[in-house]
């Protein structure tokens, strides 16, 4: 079955935005990295190399690859294209960003989707904010959404209003303060479903009630150790069930994934992932998956 309502089915179509289209030049990176709270300034030439390695995972038979183009209204964070929209079987939901420097990204993506004749289900508007990194499909009828500094109750209520009438249960997950409003901390910072019954999680920052909810739904866990949380060990993209893509440099999590029966591919992501706080789930906007 083909659906948008999965984080672990085999990817059939997705959108990405290249480092070249998002980062533009070293001078652009120099001007924007600090105001956008990157850990350090990405190096442009190396970022292009890393991105080509990353992109090669999607240039394969069976995947329709779409690319967001350069848009002068957005900044370097637009490389993390998951955050500006949510794919559903009823059409795309256009988000409203909680991070000020990213406020123009949803409109840029909406323009691209409409040009590609992809239907728009609705938009998060006004005082409501939702970022795509805060939402994750647990199954075809259940969407988890994190209440964070990037996704607020008004936005969650709008999301529910769009999906409740269509038979989708929206579960709110209240996440902790952690490092505060300026940090990149989404629901998918601590959760990456990689199969129907397997998820990569970081338990120390996961609410007990939500962790128990996952257990009740039949999930087993690959636990990310503390020393691999900041290096994005928990940010794992399922290319298909138990076929995982992750940032290199997280050997404990990688070995635990393999012990759980997963095939693991890594990519060098110091410039495109670690410095900006966006791993492979953040760098992609999957649309359809086969489950």
**CA gap 77, 94 in Å, rounded:** 17
CB-side neighbour CA atoms (13 Å) of 179: 8
Sign of CA dihedral 23, 25, 26, 30: negative
Q: What is the pLDDT of residue 179?
A: 85
Q: What is the pLDDT of residue 228?
A: 97
HEC-encoded secondary structure of 93-141: EECECCCHHHCCHHHHHHHHHHHCCCCEEEECCCCCCECHHHEEEEECC
Cβ atoms of 236 and 254 within 8 Å: the answer is no
Q: What is the pLDDT of residue 222?
A: 98
Q: What share of the chain is helix, strand, coil (3-state, %, to 5)?
A: 35, 25, 40
Q: What is the pLDDT of residue 182?
A: 77
Q: What is the pLDDT of residue 234?
A: 97
Residue 27, token pair as written in the block: 């001078």
Q: What is the pLDDT of residue 185?
A: 87
Q: What is the pLDDT of residue 18?
A: 98
User: What domain range includes position 175?
Assistant: 2-290
Which of the residues in the chain have pLDDT under 50?
Answer: none
Closest CA to 76 of 109, 41, 49: 41
198-201: strand order across its sheet? 191-195, 198-201, 220-223
**CA gap 147, 149 in Å, rounded:** 7
**CA gap 82, 95 in Å, rounded:** 10
Q: What is the CATH number of the domain that holds 178?
A: 3.75.10.10
Give the total number of structural domains in the chain.
1
In the block, tokens 């969407």 appear at: 143
Cβ atoms of 66 and 15 within 8 Å: the answer is yes
**CA gap 89, 285 in Å, rounded:** 14
């Amino acid at each position: 079955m083909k659906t948008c309502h999965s984080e672990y089915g085999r990817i059939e179509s997705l959108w990405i935005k290249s480092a070249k289209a998002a980062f533009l030049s070293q001078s652009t990176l120099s001007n924007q990295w600090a105001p956008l709270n990157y850990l350090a300034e990405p190096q442009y030439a190396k970022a292009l190399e890393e991105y080509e390695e990353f992109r090669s995972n999607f240039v394969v038979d069976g995947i329709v690859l779409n690319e967001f183009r350069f848009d002068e209204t957005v900044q370097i964070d637009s490389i993390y294209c998951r955050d500006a929209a949510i794919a559903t079987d009823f059409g795309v939901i256009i988000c409203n960003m909680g991070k000020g420097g990213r406020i123009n990204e949803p409109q840029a993506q909406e323009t691209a989707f409409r040009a590609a004749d992809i239907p728009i289900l609705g938009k998060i508007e006004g005082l409501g904010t939702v970022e795509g990194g805060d939402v994750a499909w647990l199954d075809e009828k259940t969407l988890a959404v994190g209440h964070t500094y990037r996704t607020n109750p008004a936005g969650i209520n709008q999301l529910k209003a769009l999906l409740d009438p269509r038979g989708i249960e929206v579960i709110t997950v209240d996440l902790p303060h952690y490092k505060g409003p300026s940090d990149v901390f989404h629901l998918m910072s601590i959760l990456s479903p990689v199969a129907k019954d397997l998820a990569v999680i970081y338990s120390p920052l996961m609410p007990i009630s939500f962790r128990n909810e996952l257990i009740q739904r039949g999930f087993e866990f690959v636990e990310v150790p503390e020393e691999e949380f900041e290096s994005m060990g928990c940010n794992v993209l399922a290319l298909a069930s138990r076929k995982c893509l992750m940032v290199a440099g997280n050997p404990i999590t990688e070995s635990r994934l393999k012990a759980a029966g997963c095939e693991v591919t890594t990519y060098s992501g110091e410039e495109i992932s670690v410095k900006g706080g966006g791993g492979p789930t953040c760098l992609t906007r999957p649309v359809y998956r086969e489950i």
